[in-house]
A and B are shown apart, each in its own frame.
Chain A
Amino acid sequence: MADAKVHASITHDSAPLHVSGTALYTDDVAEPAGMLHLAFGRSTHAHAKIISIDLDAVRSAPDVVAVFTAADIPGDNNVAPVAKDDKLMTSDDVIFMGQPIFLVAAKSAKAARVAAKLGRIEYDILTPILTIAEARGANSLIEATQVMKRGAVDFDAAPNRVTGSLEIGGQDHFYLEGQITIATPMEQGGMHLLCSTQHPSEVQHLVAHLLHVNSADVTVEVRRMGGGFGGKETQASLFAAAAALVAAKTGKPAKYRADRDEDMEITGKRHDFTADYDVAFDDNGRITSLRLELASRCGCSTDLSPAINDRALFHADNCYFLENVELISHRFKTHTVSNTAFRGFGGPQGMLAIERVMDAIAVHLGRDPLSVRQANFYGAGRDVTPYQMPVTDFVADRIVADVVAASDYNNRRQAIEKFNNTHPYLKRGIAVTPVKFGISFTTSHLNQAGALVHCYVDGSVSLNHGGTEMGQGLNIKVAQIVADVFGLGLDKIRITATRTDKVPNTSATAASSGTDLNGWAAYNAAMTIRERLAGFMAGRNGGEAENVTFEGGVVRAGDEVLGFAEVCRLAHFNRISMSSTGYYATPKIHYDRKTHTGRPFLYFAYGASVSEVEIDTFTGEYRVLRADLLHDVGRSINPSIDLGQVEGAFVQGMGWLTFEELVYNDKGRLLTHAPSTYKIPCASDRPKILNVELWRAGENREPTIHRSKAVGEPPFMLANSVFSALSFAVAAATGSRTLTLDAPATPERILRALKDGRA
């Protein structure tokens, strides 16, 4: 397996297409004649009962072809992933501002959007519950509060105790390509959907139930997405279902392309959280007891919120052994859009909370926060998580030591102290934070994948698997794995669009699992074919199949040396099948949600970062001056692709913690629904000095594909050091022993934290 095709930095398979504008996204496919364009008529209240719906003006608007409501749905009026509590359109209860009520099909997108404003809906307006605080007051929950505990907390047994709270904001995905589906009716009631989704199988099943047809009648195809980040895991279904309904009802192809504002107004986001902590610790800062109470805004329905909030609990330990701990998690139901998966899936919020606890301890004791973190690391005899999973692969201590050395943390910390003592109003802060992120879907049955590989008689290979490409480089990694199996160049591997009629019943491309799952499945499919070819070649030569080699486009069996294409041609002549499925299911994992114990993860991915910031104490403005990232991806299948994930995740995480701010008004209307008001990082926000490295010593102890580690989500949380550094810069200005900064740390919040700290 010494072939350079895995563990090699190979450019993204679509990169030449990206740069030339020839990569086809859903909206780039030429529109067939008669294509209908869609827009939802949406509620103008967050909480109401619909009294009447008058759509006459909509129907008679120019270029409108048809208008549909919930009554037109042949099957289930449901687009929810699990709990059946998200409607395609509502006809009675309105549970969030902008909820779809009717659907306009018109000859142009503009005509549909203009007509969609003409519905006359009468409401009985009810008081909405909008915030975590309001939901807490009303005890409005999507499910029972969950508690994960171990040991017995005792806050009097240690010499020190600190309490505090932290607000953590939400985040919009802001994938550059908005939600979109084209539905095309096929013969005999079939339906083909071209959809920008991370979860084609779920879209398929939901659309089938909604249309009251079989899943086999619906095919969902995804060539690529213009970004996903979790926002197209469950959220694509709404638009797919709308397009499918119109296509089924009218017999015409139908496209739903949400514009940016609608996309941001009606799709779920990262959950905002509050965290209240009560912690006892010794004089070295080692925690003896911790009670951490998390609360999140789930929005109006269940969506994936139970699993997301579970993952917040799973990561509230981060790299720290919590001997006596009570982790409490409230999942609040509000009349806002239903929050959903977003890179990290609750993990970032849980992890930020414990990092704040570490910082609070350090500030209280006047110690270097790094030493407090080190005092709490997992280690010998302190190696079981609050959910009873042994931590056997802990390397965060080594990664932290490496990044501390590489970044010259200790000297810079002293230099910063000097700077802060002299500058009248600029203050700096520096922080090191580690990451430990559990890999596997915590819903165990999702950890499976399939692939389909064909070899053709000319020696070319068609590769298909259940994962979806959203820019993360999944397809190139899987192609590298398959090329390596056959000893072929990548030019012989054809990457094909994900389709539910090729690989069925797939899980979402989510939880960072894309390569771990689909890489193995494709490997297994390719190996099945290779073993057949090897057996055939060995048979011709009287040798052993396992001695047949595939390398450099050549197959060697005994003395016979043939090109791969010639082997395929001969195999076909001799009636050897050159097509195979492949399957993989993650071993070893189990979890009992009733007791919150088990082994939900196959392994952990680790990383650490050091960030330095400067704030202006007059304005609250700040800059990230430098960041050093060191991240463990095991043995990387493609280092350049992985580096891209690490850097991109960090900057996205920085956006979440700094100036990406979701603002709702008191009626529940999202006011930040376009890039004019919702600011994601732009080029100049990238720290001027940003050192990004993969940890050279990294190797996965578990038998993952080529001993690599998942990389999509874990480095998102490397941005936590930015938030810690900002907190310390504020503390340097106020001299306070309490940390007062909340996230996102907009200039306004920095200024408020300065004020609170001085008070």
Chain B
Amino acid sequence: MPHKLRFYLDGEVVTLSDIDPTMTLLDWLRYRAQRTGTKEGCAEGDCGACTVLVGELSGERLDWRALNACILFMPMLDGKALMTVESLKGQHPVQSAMVDLHGSQCGFCTPGIVMSLVGRTMGACGTVNVDSADVLAGNLCRCTGYGPILEAAEQNPAAAFDDAHVFDTLKKIRRDDMLILSHEDMLSGLTRRWFTPRSVDDLAALRLEMPDARIVAGATDVGLWVTKQHRVLDTIIYVGGLMTDIDETPQGLTIGAGVRYAEAQTALARLHPDLGELVRRIGAVQVRNAGTIGGNIANGSPIGDTPPALIALGTELTLRHGETRRTIPLEDYFLTYGKQDLQPGEFVESVFVPALDATDFVRVVKLSKRFDSDISAVCAAFHLRIAGGIVTFARLAFGGMAGTPKRAHATENALTGKPFTPEVLAVAAEALRQDFTPLTDVRGSSEYRLEVSGNLLKRLWFEYHGERGMTQAVAHG
């Protein structure tokens, strides 16, 4: 007997049966629930016109998160609470601030912007140094130039919000057993199945049983397979809420695969500020509130957001197969484009990032056309130890330069044991051409990628001596 979906919305528990598990929340809101305030601008999580708030129990806490409804599958809402622009009934002070300050022109992006700003007052947009532009980085507006919206954001008008009723209701509808949904898909003729295991052990068992099932965590990538590519998914295992531990010890940082970017950001920033800034520049709030470190690694993107930095820091990856685990260097996980070292029945469980020594010199640089919410043309991570003017250790990794995130061994060799000088860095920059033959695509030409990567090496000399480059200038004002 398949389950029904249950979630909280505006004082009531919504119960849905026989819903396509790959129906997006946006489609449900607009075309089933007639809640059309939430808009579709892109259906790929890049414009924020569909921003909603989702509340989730975390132990004895209720955490709200701003999310893109366009790439959120309906079953991901099970046991959670939903707020849309309609929930505010036009009475939130953010709404009047937006009106008074002329924060809307065409108005199409406005509900999403309102939800981001309301979300911030509820802690739904992250808590680490969230400045207004960062809160809004995932909400595109084509009319205003953002000035009046940022002004409204600066007022940060909070309303008294008592979510005790939400909390109590979520406790009541909390599900202890695995959520199982099944739906006959007319278009593909398939029976689509959805599983939400409640423990990692259940996940491990389920994964053995269904090695071909698609694992979904934040759906920031898989969501697009459905909305953009119309790919047919038959069996889906949702791992939301699992493997969410972060463990900080003097030896290093262990991050569960299910930890979202937003939650990993603080701990990674403590490890090194560049890591925090790198995570801040992954997507925007709505994406960082959904996407996970494990998902980022498991999907094997050649750009890879976090992997180049994690590889440069010597990160180890723990993979689990039933009851057995194996640990490999993260760099060994990426075999070739689209292929990873992942056995049938196996899944990514956690990463371990070793702590840095005070003498370690680390720089992580993301280059993209737009600073916020863009994908890297090149992501470069440099991990050096310099003693007595000599490079004693060099570990360099790049994204966007090959079919996978990859170390630059020839370049490392050109540095190791050599004096740390502009001349040596220039030689190392040339060595990059042995390590990489990048592609030309929309984000940059092959030649640009090689040249700019070399320039980043050359710039290290200035950075080591205290000059701050553009990326740092941006990060720290």
Q: Is A685 an interface residue (CB 8 A)?
A: yes
A-chain residues with CB within 8 Å of residue B455 when the two chains form the complex: 618-619, 751
Q: Are B98 and A19 in contact (CB under 8 A)?
A: yes
Nearest CB on A from B281, distance (A): 10
Segment at the interface with B among A310-318, A571-579, A668-676, A700-708: A668-676
- Taking CB atoms, residues of chain B closer than 8 Å to A239 are none
Chain B positions 397-442 with a Cβ under 8 Å from a chain A Cβ: 441-442
B111 x A21 contact (CB < 8 A) = yes
Interface positions of A from 147 to 185, Cβ below 8 Å from B: 173-178
A25 at the interface (CB under 8 A from B): yes
> Does any Cβ of A come within 8 Å of B160's Cβ?
no
The segment from A8-16, A275-283, A546-554 found at the interface with B is A8-16
Stretch at the interface among A93-101, A108-116, A456-464: A108-116
Residue of B whose beta carbon sits closest to that of A107 = B186
Which of B103, B147, B186 contacts A692 (CB under 8 A)? B147
Q: How far is the CB of A694 from chain B (nearest CB, A)?
A: 14
Check B469 for interface membership: any CB of A closer than 8 A.
Answer: yes
A500 at the interface (CB under 8 A from B): no
With known contacts A425-B459, A686-B145, A748-B445, A25–B37 Cβ distance under 8 A: no
When distances are taken between beta carbons in the complex, the residues of chain B under 8 Å from A425 are 459, 462, 467, 469
Q: Please give, as numbers and ranges, the residues of chain B lying within 8 Å of A174 by CB-CB distance.
A: 140, 142
Q: Looking across the interface, which residue of chain A has its beta carbon closest to that of B232?
A: A114
Q: Which of A173, A178, A676, A685 contacts B371 (CB 8 A)?
A: A685
**B470, A621: Cβ atoms closer than 8 Å:** yes
Contacts of A16 in B (CB 8 A): 90, 95, 99
Question: A674 to chain B: closest CB distance in Å?
Answer: 6
CB of A105, distance to nearest CB on chain B (Å)? 15
User: From A14, which residue of chain B is reached at the shortest CB distance?
Assistant: B107
CA distance A616 to B473 in the complex (A): 10
Distance from B455 Cβ to chain A, minimum over Cβ atoms (Å):
4
B448 lies within 8 A of A751 (CB):
yes
A19 touches B145 (CB 8 A): no
Q: Is the CB of B341 closer than 8 A to any CB of chain A?
A: no
> Nearest-CB distance from B467 to chain A (Å)?
7
Which residues between 90 and 142 of chain A lie within 8 Å of chain B, taking CB atoms? Answer: 110-111, 113-114, 117
Question: In angstroms, how far is the closest chain B Cβ from the Cβ of A759?
Answer: 14
Interface residues on B, range: 35 or more
Which of A47-55, A436-444, A645-653 is the contact stretch?
Answer: A645-653
Binds B, one of A327-335, A466-474, A597-605: A466-474
Q: Mark B80-120, 1 if CB is under 8 A from A, else 0.
A: 00001110111000111011101111111111001000000
CB of A165 to closest CB in B, whole Å: 20
Please give, as numbers and ranges, the residues of chain A lying within 8 Å of B396 by CB-CB distance.
none
Q: Which residues of B contact A228 (CB under 8 A)?
A: 106
Nearest A-chain residue to B31, judged by Cβ: A31
Do B95 and A28 touch (CB < 8 A)? no
Partner pick for B132 among A62, A110, A659, A683, CB 8 A cutoff: A683
Residue A359 is within 8 A (CB to CB) of chain B in the complex:
no
By a CB distance below 8 angstroms, the chain B residues around A489 are none
Within 8 Å by CB of B444, from A15, A225, A681, A748, lies: A748
Task: Say yes or no: A647-B145 contact (C-beta < 8 A), given A19-B111, A21-B36, A676-B375.
Answer: yes
Q: Mark A660-686, 1 if CB is under 8 A from B, else 0.
A: 010100000001101111011111111
A350 within 8 A of B: no
A 734-759 contacts with B by CB, 8 A: 746-748, 751-752
How far is it, in angstroms, between the C-alpha of A647 and the C-alpha of B42 when the chains are bound?
24
Which chain A residues lie closer than 8 Å to B284 at the CB level?
Answer: 682
Beyond A19-B111, A622-B470, A684-B371, whether A11 also contacts B102 by CB under 8 A is yes
Q: How distant is the Cα of A751 from the Cα of B370 in the complex, in angstroms? A: 15
Docked Cα-Cα span, A226 to B42, in Å, equals 13
Distance (whole angstroms) from the CB of B128 to the closest CB of chain A: 16
CB distance from B175 to the nearest CB of A (A): 29
Interface centre among A21, A259, A650, A672 (most CB of B within 10 A): A21
If A62-B187, A616-B469, A647-B145 touch, does A682 touch B373 (CB 8 Å cutoff)? yes
Q: Does A486 contact B (CB under 8 A)?
A: no
Q: Is A261 an interface position by the 8 A CB rule? A: yes
On whether the beta carbons of B142 and A684 are closer than 8 Å, the reply is no
- B contact residues around A173 at 8 Å (CB): 142
The reply to whether B142 and A62 contact each other, CB–CB distance below 8 Å, is no
Determine if B142 and A680 form an interchain contact, defined as CB atoms under 8 angstroms apart: yes
Residues in B whose Cβ lies below 8 Å from that of A683:
132-133, 136-137, 139, 141, 146, 149-150, 372
How far in angstroms is the closest Cβ of chain B from A162?
28
Does chain A have a CB within 8 A of B369? Answer: yes
Q: Does B53 contact A (CB under 8 A)?
A: no
Q: Is the Cβ of A19 less than 8 Å from the Cβ of B147?
A: no
A675-B47 in contact (CB<8A): yes
A677→B149 CA distance, assembly (Å):
24
Contacts of B381 in A (CB 8 A): none
Given A20-B88, A659-B370, check contact A619 B102 (CB 8 Å): no
How many A-B residue pairs lie within 8 Å, measured between CB atoms?
277
Instruction: Tell me the residues in window 339-397 of chain B with beta carbons closer than 8 Å to chain A beta carbons.
Output: 365, 367, 369-375, 377
Alpha-carbon distance A425/B463, docked complex (angstroms): 11
Q: Min CB distance, B156 to chain A, in Å?
A: 15
CA distance A23 to B43 in the complex (A): 20
Contact partners of A395 in chain B: CB under 8 A:
none
Interface residues of B in 20-47 (CB under 8 A from A): 30-31, 34-44, 46-47
Contacts of A178 in B (CB 8 A): 40-41
Report B206 CB to chain A, min CB distance, Å.
28
**How far is B103's CA from A473's CA once the two chains are assembled, in angstroms?**
12
When the two chains form their complex, are residues A19 and B371 in contact, meaning their CB atoms are under 8 A apart? Answer: no
Report chain B residues within 8 Å CB of A379: none
Decide yes or no whether B273 CB sits under 8 A from chain A.
Answer: no
- Residue B49 at the chain A interface, CB threshold 8 Å: yes
Question: Closest residue to A23 on the B side, CB-wise?
Answer: B107
Residues on A with C-beta less than 8 A from B99 are 11, 15-16, 19
| CA A375 to CA B140, docked complex, whole Å | 41
- Looking at the complex, which one of B88, B89, B108, B452 makes contact with A620 (CB distance below 8 Å)? B452
Contact partner of B144 (CB less than 8 A), chosen from A110, A618, A621, A648, is: A648
Quote the shortest CB–CB distance from A33 to chain B (angstroms): 13
Query: Is A293 part of the contact surface with B, judged by Cβ < 8 Å?
Result: no
Cβ–Cβ contact B39 & A19, under 8 A: no
Q: Is the CB of B230 within 8 A of A27?
A: no
Query: Do A224 and B445 touch across chains, with their CB atoms under 8 A apart?
Result: no
Give residues of chain B (283-339) contacting chain A, Cβ–Cβ below 8 Å. 284
CB distance from A80 to the nearest CB of B (A): 26
B168 within 8 Å of A (CB atoms): no
Q: Contact check, A686 vs B146: say whether CB atoms are below 8 A apart.
A: yes
Task: Give Cα A747–Cα B456 distance, bound, in whole angstroms.
Answer: 13
Q: Which of B139, B145, B189, B462 contacts A424 (CB 8 A)?
A: B462
Chain B residue numbers with a CB within 8 Å of A226 are: 39, 106-109
Q: Which residues of B contact A299 (CB under 8 A)?
A: none
User: What are the interface flags for B440-470 relative to A under an 8 Å C-beta threshold, 1 for contact and 0 otherwise?
Assistant: 0111110010011001101100100001011
Chain B's nearest CB lies how many Å from the CB of A650?
Answer: 6
* Pair A684/B134 contact, Cβ less than 8 Å: yes
**Contacts A20-B95, A21-B38 known; A11 to B105 CB distance under 8 Å?**
no
Do A746 and B474 touch across chains, with their CB atoms under 8 A apart?
A: no
Contact of B157 with A by CB under 8 A? no
CA A287 to CA B264, docked complex, whole Å: 59
| Assembled-state Cα–Cα distance A648/B365 (Å) | 31
A224-B106, A226-B109, A685-B372 given; 6 more Cβ-contact pairs under 8 Å: A226-B108, A227-B108, A471-B143, A619-B471, A674-B44, A686-B133
A–B Cβ pairs within 8 angstroms, 11 of them? A12-B102, A15-B98, A20-B89, A30-B34, A111-B187, A176-B49, A620-B452, A621-B367, A644-B102, A676-B44, A679-B374
Report which B residues bind A (CB closer than 8 A). 30-31, 34-44, 46-47, 49, 84-86, 88-90, 94-96, 98-100, 102-111, 114, 132-134, 136-150, 186-187, 189, 228, 230, 284, 365, 367, 369-375, 377, 441-445, 448, 451-452, 455-456, 458-459, 462, 467, 469-471, 473-474
Please name the 3 residue pairs, one residue from A and one from B, whose CB atoms are nearest each other, closest first. A21-B37, A471-B106, A226-B108
